[in-house]
Amino acid sequence: MAKPRRRGDVPTTRRKDGRLVAVIGWTDELDRTQRTYIYGRTQAEVNDKHAAIVRRLADGMTATDSPGRLDTFASAWLKSTLPASDRKMSTKTLYASLTRSHILGSDLGTMPLRSVKPRHVEAWVTGLRSKGLRPSTVRQIYTVLRAILDTAVRDDLLARNPAAALTRPKVEKHEAAYLVPDQIRTLLAAAEGSRYAALFALLVNTGLRRGEALALHWTDIDLEDRVLRVRGTLSRVDGNLVVTTTKTERSRRSVPLSPAAVEILRGVRARQGRNSQDLWIGIMRLADHLLIRGPCRRVVR
């Protein structure tokens, strides 16, 4: 015999399989009437699920998480949210590439958004590691997935981000590789007389990154006050060399120039004349070689 319904219980009917079912009606953002069915083994289970849906609707969300596939949403994210973000162009290009290579077409990508649980994300991360990807790459891919799911939460397609329940993949810190004095002398001696000579000497005397040095213009340099200002960096985006903002705010900085650095720059200026705005004549051709790290490695190996 069915138990009498208590005050406050959600009205239900019993299915042939023994489960209870209730229905809740709501209006979507297009002012259309929708129905969501709630199933449970007990009245208490149905009551709890009903209360959770009522809270979602009160917060302006849909009654349930989206049944749409993760990869479908990720494809839309690539076309709208990612381009509209304030990330650097090189970062957008990287995120798009990682999404296409590791999220679209993956087993995780074929899952409905509402079915993705932390354990599924965890298994996906484990699969990335098993492919032999570097820890830093795994961390980047996870960061992209988390950003995609954050957008789904923002758009009320998910109540919470399942990737956020995981600890971000760790990357062990390693001491950065650097040239020892003997290698620096070998590098400068080998570059002497070449188109790389002045640039390499400037890098040695200022500690600038290659992209930062290649992005310099004469307007960034004050030889009288012996200082240069790092405002951007040259990088490759979609196969093209472009000057973008520095990676972090701290990278935008003023760098004091030593007497040796001033002498190097005065020599470059004298050879160019005063009409040039570019510090490096033929910068694109020069950068094509330098950004692939070829010349330095050949010299110091």
160 and 225 in a common domain: no
Assign residue 125 the CATH number of its domain. 1.10.150.130
Measured CA to CA in angstroms, residue 59 lies from 53, 156, 161 at distances of 10, 9, 17
294 and 193 in a common domain: yes
79 and 51 in a common domain: no
Residue 114 included in any domain: yes
The residue type at 147? A
pLDDT of residue 187: 87
pLDDT of residue 240: 74
Residue 8 included in any domain: no
273 and 240 in a common domain: yes
283 and 189 in a common domain: yes
Residue 262 included in any domain: yes
What angle is formed at CA 82 by the lines to CA 81 and CA 84, rounded to 5 degrees? 65
Residue 1 included in any domain: no
113, 137, 165: which is the final residue of a domain? Answer: 165
pTM greater than 0.85 (yes/no): no
280 and 227 in a common domain: yes
Give the residues of the chain that fall short of pLDDT 70: 1-5, 29-30, 239, 274-278, 281-301
110 and 152 in a common domain: yes
Q: Tell me the C-alpha distance between 28 and 282, whole Å.
A: 58
Assign residue 224 the CATH number of its domain. 1.10.443.10
Residue 174 included in any domain: no
Within 8 A by CB and 6+ apart from 289, the residues are 295
Residues 144/98, Cβ–Cβ less than 8 Å: yes
pLDDT (tens digit, 9 = 90+) per residue, 212-262?
888 888 889 999 999 999 988 887 777 677 777 777 777 889 999 999 999
Residue 6 included in any domain: no
Q: For residue 200, what are its two tokens?
A: 């390499």
295 and 202 in a common domain: yes
Q: Give the count of domains, the chain.
A: 3
193 and 157 in a common domain: no
Residue 185 included in any domain: yes
291 and 194 in a common domain: yes
110, 139, 165: which is the final residue of a domain? Answer: 165
Within 8 A by CB and 6+ apart from 64, the residues are 36, 53, 56, 114
Burial call 49-77: b when 16+ CB within 10 Å, e when fewer: bbeebeebeeeebbbbbbeebbbebbbeb
195 and 104 in a common domain: no
106, 133, 165: which is the final residue of a domain? Answer: 165
Range of the domain at 19: 13-58
Q: Tell me the C-alpha distance between 39 and 115, whole Å.
A: 16
191 and 285 in a common domain: yes
Residue recorded with tokens 């950004």? 291
Residue 44 included in any domain: yes
Strand partners, 36: 24
